Amino acid sequence: NAGVTQTPKFRVLKTGQSMTLLCAQDMNHEYMYWYRQDPGMGLRLIHYSVGEGTTAKGEVPDGYNVSRLKKQNFLLGLESAAPSQTSVYFCASSSGEGSETQYFGPGTRLLVL
Amino acid sequence: GQNIDQPTEMTATEGAIVQINCTYQTSGFNGLFWYQQHAGEAPTFLSYNVLDGLEEKGRFSSFLSRSKGYSYLLLKELQMKDSASYLCAVRDSDYKLSFGAGTTVTVRA
């Protein structure tokens, strides 16, 4: 039982390049989330999904797209990276039930030059 | 949306007690979570409150007052390994979390 995994762990991009971050969970969770974490600002929700085939915008969705084609996977895409997207990205999943917490992946550090 | 405030930094001595306060303004409150995050790592779950009162879990306790929009996390018998960032997060009716900026706790010998 791996929990929540993220690939890659670290990436350097040039401005204008594109990339996809992959999140996978093996807990059969319905809800999945993508956050970014920047110094002094805490975790901010980019996009989330309440089930396979669904996606919704969070607090800071601009410049990102997501897809949830399979229940266990949630992909975050950057079509044209900008230096402002330099951040640490965390994926999380939860069952959404009662006191059930969100479980976080180990994070992806992205540097956009 | 949610507006969540917590202190930026706190310092305490090994063996002491520290209380981290969190205040929030919410639309659709559905629970409050506390997470611990060590530098370079992912947040990990500490506690959950949805009703008013105190929840105790070993050395950690969390309190909630919904009418005041207030919570605190109490860390007792501090250990060096407790040096970390502590995140307050409020869940809304859509099961989304809004996080405070985090409180960095430094434990000194």
pLDDT at site A2 = 76
- Residue among B31, B48, B95 minimizing CB distance to A31: B95
Count the neighbouring beta carbons within 10 Å of the beta carbon of residue B45: 16
pLDDT at site A14 = 97
Report which DSSP code applies to A101: P
Look-up: residue for tokens 């550090």?
A109
pLDDT at site A97 = 77
**pLDDT at residue A88 tops 60:** yes
Q: How far is the C-alpha of B88 from the C-alpha of B102, rounded, in Å?
A: 7
pLDDT at site B1 = 54
Which two tokens mark A86? 């330099």
Contact check, Cβ <8 Å, A41/B101: yes
Q: List the one residue out of B25, B15, B5, B11 whose CA is nearest residue B72.
A: B5
Average pLDDT in chain A? 95
The mean pLDDT value for A80-89 works out to: 97
CA of B38: which chain A residue's CA is closest? Answer: A106
Banded model confidence at residue A40, pLDDT cuts 50, 70, 90: confident
Contact check, Cβ <8 Å, A48/B96: yes
How far does B61 lie from chain A, in Å, by closest CA?
Answer: 16
Q: List the one residue out of A105, A112, A79 whose CA is nearest residue A8.
A: A105
The mean pLDDT value for B53-82 works out to: 97
pLDDT at site B6 = 97
Q: How far is the C-alpha of B77 from the C-alpha of B79, rounded, in Å?
A: 6
Which two tokens mark A107? 């994070």
Which two tokens mark A38? 């920047």
Look-up: residue for tokens 């099961």?
B95
**pLDDT at residue A36 tops 80:** yes
Banded model confidence at residue A1, pLDDT cuts 50, 70, 90: low
> Could you report the per-residue pLDDT of B8-66, keeping only the tens digit for each?
999 999 999 999 999 999 888 999 999 999 999 999 999 999 999 999 999 999 999 99
The mean pLDDT value for A71-90 works out to: 97
B45 Cβ under 8 Å from any chain A Cβ: yes
